[in-house]
Amino acid sequence: MLLCIPDVLTPEEVAQCRKAMSEAEWQDGRATAGPQAAAVKKNYQLPLESPVSKKLGELVLAAVSRSPLFMSAALPLRILPPMFNHYGEGQTFGVHVDGAIRTSVFTGERLRTDLSATLFLSEPEEYDGGDLSIETLYGANEVKLPAGHLVLYPSTSLHCVTPVTRGMRVASIFWVQSMIRDEGQRTILFDLDRTVQELQAERGADDEATVRLAGVYHNLIRQWAET
């Protein structure tokens, strides 16, 4: 499932991120890449341990936690601290797949990467190129969203950031370990949750059939979830 989620950050929060990032010191993006990714990665990122990165990471985590669409789609068990990067002219991140296991630099906790997220912090008109290209069963999807919008997709996907030819692309990226390991099960639960919410809006929360369907949703989570 590839899902675009609008307005995860408010315009004020985007401006706060951009201001803090403009005053920060950056490092070579290959510092946190594995051998395969490092060979095709050309960008800059905030050091994970920097105060700016920590503060902005907390802002992003608070934002996604208040997004019903993100929570419904991801059903997160753990989320790695967000990273922040920028691509200038000529920079790119070639085709790669995200590593299956990542380790938090703060806790040493290992996390299985079920879902990858890119939160855009630049407006599309600020740069040319820099599309996030994600391979799916139906071909490549080119994603370039307004600032504050997020795309969520399976970490098993081959993907790349196409070369930036003008301006600067700024974004936050992070990974999610879901309570539901299986992508197909997550998709079923997401569709079911959206259906329950639509029926509640139409019929009311006390509609008997809607309550039964909500029970099915929660019973499936009980059956499939890892905690």
**At 85, which CATH number?**
2.60.120.620
Handedness of CA 133, 134, 136, 141 (dihedral sign): negative
Contact 154, 116 (CB under 8 A): yes
> Which residues share a beta bridge with 44?
28, 86
Nearest to 83 by CA among 56, 102, 111: 56
**Residue range 53-74, pLDDT digits in tens:** 999 999 999 999 999 999 999 9
Domain co-membership, 60 together with 164: yes
Q: What is the reported pLDDT for 137?
A: 85
Domain co-membership, 60 together with 163: yes
**At 202, which CATH number?**
4.10.860
Domain co-membership, 105 together with 156: yes
Domain co-membership, 92 together with 78: yes
Domain co-membership, 50 together with 18: yes
Domain count, the chain: 2
| Integer Cα distance of 14 and 79 in angstroms | 20
Full-model pTM? 0.94
Question: Which residue segment(s) compose the domain that 19 sits in?
Answer: 3-178
Domain co-membership, 146 together with 99: yes
- pLDDT, one tens digit for every residue, the chain (227 residues): 899 999 999 999 999 999 999 999 999 988 877 777 778 999 999 999 999 999 999 999 999 999 999 999 999 999 999 999 999 999 999 999 999 999 998 899 999 999 999 999 999 999 999 999 999 888 899 999 999 999 999 999 999 999 999 999 999 999 999 999 999 999 999 999 999 999 999 999 899 999 999 999 999 999 999 98
Domain co-membership, 173 together with 199: no
Write the secondary structure of the chain as one string of H (helix), E (strand) and C (coil).
CCEEECCCCCHHHHHHHHHHHHCCCCEEHHHHCCHHHHCCEECEECCCCCHHHHHHHHHHHHHHHCCHHHHHHHCEEEECCCEEEEECCCCEEEEECCCCEEECCCCCCEEECCEEEEEECCCHHHEEECCEEEEECCEEEEECCCCCCEEEEECCCCEEECCEEEECEEEEEEEEEECCCCHHHHHHHHHHHHHHHHHHHHHCCCCHHHHHHHHHHHHHHHHHCCC
| Integer Cα distance of 189 and 186 in angstroms | 5
